[in-house]
Structure 1
Amino acid sequence: MNSELVQSLLKPTPYSHPCSTMELIETHISWIILTGDFAYKIKKPVNFGFLDFTSLSARKQYCEAELNLNSRSAPELYIEVLAITGDAAAPKLNAITNIEQDGVIEYAIKMHQFKTEELFSELDASRSLTFEHIDELADRVATFHRAAPTAPENSDFGSPEKLLMPAEQNFEQIRERLSTREHLEQLAHLEQWTLSTFAILTDTMRQRKANGYVRECHGDLHLKNITLFNNKVTLFDCIEFNDGFRWVDVMSDMAFLAMDLEERGLHAYSNRFLNHYLEETGDYEGLKLLPFYKAYRAIVRAKISLFEMEDFRDQPDVIEILWKKYQSYIDLAESCSALPNRFILTMHGVAGTGKSTVALRLVDKLGAVRIRSDVERKRLFEFNPYKHPDRELASKLYSEEATALTYKKLAVLATHILNGGLSVIVDATNLQKWQRDVLQDVADEHGVPMVIADCQAAVSVIQTWIQQRENTKGDASDASFEVASRQMKTQDKLEGDELEKTFVIHSDIMEETNELVSEIRKHLL
């Protein structure tokens, strides 16, 4: 009945509006019919264990849940749930409030149709995805997570036990779909790492829930569920069919998107997204969980690729594509278990020498996480990092005591990042020897090397850059040219052992940043 119904809905007849095009998109759990201005989504009557759409009442329930839940992030996109009456050969679409339950044969979600080419997955395919898109996306996800309800303490959402069950189910469902010894051994190795890592992280997971990091998230945050709608980055199609998949640690939700970008080979975008998200949220402590959650999310996508293969048994070309997708995801998950090479790179230089610009270039190229003294200093005082303080607050923000607290915070954040298996870029002036010693102590404690990027620029260039920055909204730095001039006179010069690990960069020469990247890759990665 369902295939006949879908074919009938691919004709203009059932619709009360003009249809400029009729197109079907099929996933492993849904049919989506595109008509031009509107799209209609129908759930397949399937049961995968983690979801059960086999009954009509369940499909109605989850259509309504999808509409309500997605109104959080895409209220302009979702319109209503419609009842489909008549029969499969001649269906009719009706407002759900006007129809007796007995006459309904199916339910559909009505949405505004958006341009397929504006999906982030399609922007990637056409090489139209930009760092500006990624920055807006990170802002959007951070805002969404901040507004999301926190899981009640007495619920089992986000508990380690709640997470372990679907993780184990992933391996069971994948294993029964594999046949070769090589692939089964790879899966067994990954399963062993997952279980041992889970045991290590159990207490952290519990503490994260107690601290309010388990929230009602999106649950399926990848590029195919992100689009530009009305010129705004929009998250849609969140998980509605399984509460446990949606009520998760925000780090798990974020890890899904970071993983998806990596699987597509967009490592610079993944690094940029991670850095921007962390800078917005301050959740560096959660990085300890990032490798585990990235692997978990990759395994979920690998499993779905195998599920989708079952829908295309008679299409060998599609089967080959899906199998390669499975292998890509499972290899990415395996890479999360590798021991990383880590380092601390401290920026160095007076205000206006381009430290933040160089640091951001390094983030995009090296996959490190940047922490900014300008942002963390203001976060300590619960002040918006991208606004400038008045004179009274500035005197507190930039006092010797506040600077000491800021470096103590930077040391803590650097520790969290290193514990997450990632390298650290400390974006600060680091002009005083004691400040550099604080960061060197963190490096020594973790047994990782520390290098210094000494940013230099002519005084006239510094003056110009600071003036340009002062005329730009949204920059975290408050330093004026007078501050920079004072720093030039009072700084502790690099000397001795420090000079041996220092790279000098003239910030206006892009090639020198690229040379630094090459040296770091050669000696540290």
Structure 2
Amino acid sequence: MPETHEGATNPASAIGFLSDPATHGGTPVERVDTHISHIFLTSKEAYKLKKPIKTNFLDFSTLEKREAACRRELEVNRAVAEEIYLDVVPITRRDGGLHLGGSGDIVDWVVRMRRFDRTKEFDRLAERGALDVPLAEALADVVARMHRDAPVTPEYGGAKRVAATIRQITEAISTSPAAARLKNDLDAWASEAMPTLSRRAPQLDSRRRHGYVRRCHGDLHLGNICLVKGRPTPFDAIEFNEEMASTDVIYDIAFVVMDMLERGLREQANAFLSRYLAATRDYSGLSLLPLFLSMRAAVRALVAASRDTPDSHEPDARERLAFALDCLRRRTTPRVIAMGGLSGSGKSTVARLVAPRIDTGLGAVVLRSDVARKHLFGVPPEQKLPDEAYRPETSARVYNRLLRDAGHTLRHGFPVLLDATFLSPEERKNVRLLAKRNCVPFSGIWLECDPDLLRTRVRNREGDVSDAGVRVLDKQLALHVSPDDWIHVSSEISPDETASRVLSALNHSAG
């Protein structure tokens, strides 16, 4: 239980002051309480007051420590959420009353934020079916940049830290109100988690040494991400404990992926992961993902088991422990799927639908040539490239990059779906050789479509990563010869129907 330390002032006076509409010019105030803070929402702003408590993972017990925590919260969150986090403001006492800012004795500190539309938080978007693939991909771009810019923290992380986290989760659930009823489920999970950790310990320690442990967000679930001015914006990063926030970057994204999977958003989870990996090229982290997904699900089980009314939430905790165990036991089967065709044939749309349904769990990692080309030139995926970026020698570099990344993906246990035109016999030969070298099955899918429909689709593209226009398509039509040894599927029907036909063909072609 947290210890309460009131310090220099009665917390009730600060709470009453911030709850009073008069403090905010008469604007109504909504109060939200969390385990460690009180948040006061006005029409345009939000004020976060930290509770004067001390636990085994944070210390807000003194005025000085609460000020430091407020300033640290501002610092770590403004890096990605500058639109939300404004400043740190003292609550002062003068002339017998409390005031926000100004001179006088400081009685406490608050983080002042710009209020955002809570209906645009990603968990709420997910609940009403508004969290689509483009949003998931945009979030992946934001998180990839956040991790790229995050400080490296080799003093944290590694196998010992992961082992300690598993022990903490296990001990906390075993002492929760629902402990007796969850014992068998918890024992089953722990008996799989620790051996999995032992097998991955050398990789965890190697990644710590090579810069993959960074000062991350630390609590990156969908409820801590909001759409602000059309941009996915993570907020409420952990500020109170550097060790908790300093993790392997794959553990940070595992919370997002797990949250999506739990909600049945496999397509979005697959798109988020594939886009993140395309930006970071951290394909070696894939072999850690099952363990990290499992740990994130176990944390959710702990939260459910620790609530005040455990009986009503016990099925929730049990389901989450079952999900955590399934993450560890599920086995993926590496294979290579190449999806080719002319511009406008629907490769990327169909790949997006097919990839999550390959194998179990997350499905196949998608490697898209259009995205790889943009990263090769150091520009955002939606930025157009000049014609020079499409010279044969440049395209060869793009395909080589795809094949290298696909090889890493296969070696770390995941199937891969390569989304590219594959117009030349050399490109098709090399992707087949990739599968042969890695001793995995190969399937080539060629999407066919009427030329007039291809032209219509290319003309109507909006906001797509591909730069190919009608001129490029006409060159393709004049030069290409479709491969006889690939499976041909018509894409003149709807994307869903095309994807179903592709999946049916793949089920009969593996090997």
TM-score band by shorter chain is 0.7 to 0.9
Spell out the pairing of 1:75-474 with structure 2 (5 A cutoff).
75-84=82-91, 92-95=98-101, 98-100=103-105, 104=107, 106-151=108-153, 155-177=154-176, 183-307=182-306, 309=307, 312=308, 316=309, 319-320=310-311, 322-342=313-333, 343-363=335-355, 366=358, 367-376=363-372, 379=375, 386-391=383-388, 394-398=391-395, 403=396, 406-431=398-423, 435-443=427-435, 448-468=440-460, 474=465
Aligned 8 A contact 2:19 2:31 in 1? no
Sort the Cα spacing of 1:107 and 1:359 in 2 relative to 1 into closer, same or farther, 3 A: same
1:504 aligns with 489
Q: TM-score, normalization: structure 1?
A: 0.82
Sort the Cα spacing of 1:483 and 1:132 in 2 relative to 1 into closer, same or farther, 3 A: same
Contiguous gaps of at least 5 residues in structure 2: 1-5
Sort the Cα spacing of 1:481 and 1:232 in 2 relative to 1 into closer, same or farther, 3 A: closer
Aligned 8 A contact 1:26 1:32 in 2? yes
Instruction: Give the AA of the match of 1:51.
Output: L
Aligned 8 A contact 1:8 1:91 in 2? no
Q: Give CA deviations for 1:113-156 in whole Å, capped at 9, x if unaligned.
A: 222212222222233333333232222222222222333xxx41
1:44 aligns with 51
Aligned 8 A contact 1:341 1:524 in 2? no
1:17 aligns with 25
Aligned 8 A contact 1:455 1:507 in 2? no
Instruction: Give the AA of the match of 2:291.
Output: F
What secondary structure sits across from 1:98 in the alignment? Answer: coil
Aligned 8 A contact 1:78 1:112 in 2? yes
- Alpha-carbon separation, structure 1, partners of 2:24 and 2:398: 62
Deviation at 1:370, TM superposition (A): 0.8
Instruction: Give the AA of the match of 1:33.
Output: F
- Alpha-carbon separation, structure 2, partners of 1:285 and 1:190: 24
Deviation at 1:222, TM superposition (A): 1.1
Sort the Cα spacing of 1:252 and 1:509 in 2 relative to 1 into closer, same or farther, 3 A: same
What is the aligned counterpart of 2:500 among 497, 501, 515?
515
- Alpha-carbon separation, structure 2, partners of 1:215 and 1:223: 20
Deviation at 1:425, TM superposition (A): 1.0
Q: Give CA deviations for 1:268-319 in whole Å, capped at 9, x if unaligned.
A: 2212211222223332232222112212222223223334x1xx3xxx4xx4
Sort the Cα spacing of 1:381 and 1:206 in 2 relative to 1 into closer, same or farther, 3 A: farther
Sort the Cα spacing of 1:322 and 1:484 in 2 relative to 1 into closer, same or farther, 3 A: same
Instruction: Give the AA of the match of 1:280.
Output: A
Sort the Cα spacing of 1:415 and 1:260 in 2 relative to 1 into closer, same or farther, 3 A: same
Q: TM-score, normalization: structure 2?
A: 0.84
- Alpha-carbon separation, structure 1, partners of 2:426 and 2:46: 61
What secondary structure sits across from 2:43 in the alignment? Answer: coil
- Alpha-carbon separation, structure 2, partners of 1:520 and 1:47: 59
Sort the Cα spacing of 1:397 and 1:442 in 2 relative to 1 into closer, same or farther, 3 A: closer
Instruction: Give the AA of the match of 1:169.
Output: Q
Aligned 8 A contact 2:158 2:207 in 1? no
Contiguous gaps of at least 5 residues in structure 1: none
- Alpha-carbon separation, structure 2, partners of 1:519 and 1:392: 36
What secondary structure sits across from 1:71 in the alignment? Answer: helix
Aligned 8 A contact 1:457 1:508 in 2? no
- Alpha-carbon separation, structure 2, partners of 1:83 and 1:205: 42
2:3 aligns with none
Deviation at 1:99, TM superposition (A): 4.3
- Alpha-carbon separation, structure 2, partners of 1:36 and 1:185: 48
- Alpha-carbon separation, structure 2, partners of 1:505 and 1:407: 25
1:8 aligns with 16
Aligned 8 A contact 1:381 1:397 in 2? no
Deviation at 1:242, TM superposition (A): 1.0
Range with bigger deviation, 11-20 or 219-228: 11-20
Sort the Cα spacing of 1:454 and 1:273 in 2 relative to 1 into closer, same or farther, 3 A: same
- Alpha-carbon separation, structure 2, partners of 1:299 and 1:17: 44
Range with bigger deviation, 426-435 or 448-457: 426-435
Q: Give CA deviations for 1:430-469 in whole Å, capped at 9, x if unaligned.
A: 3555544544455456664333322001222334444555
| Residue 34 of structure 1 pairs with residue 41 of structure 2 | yes
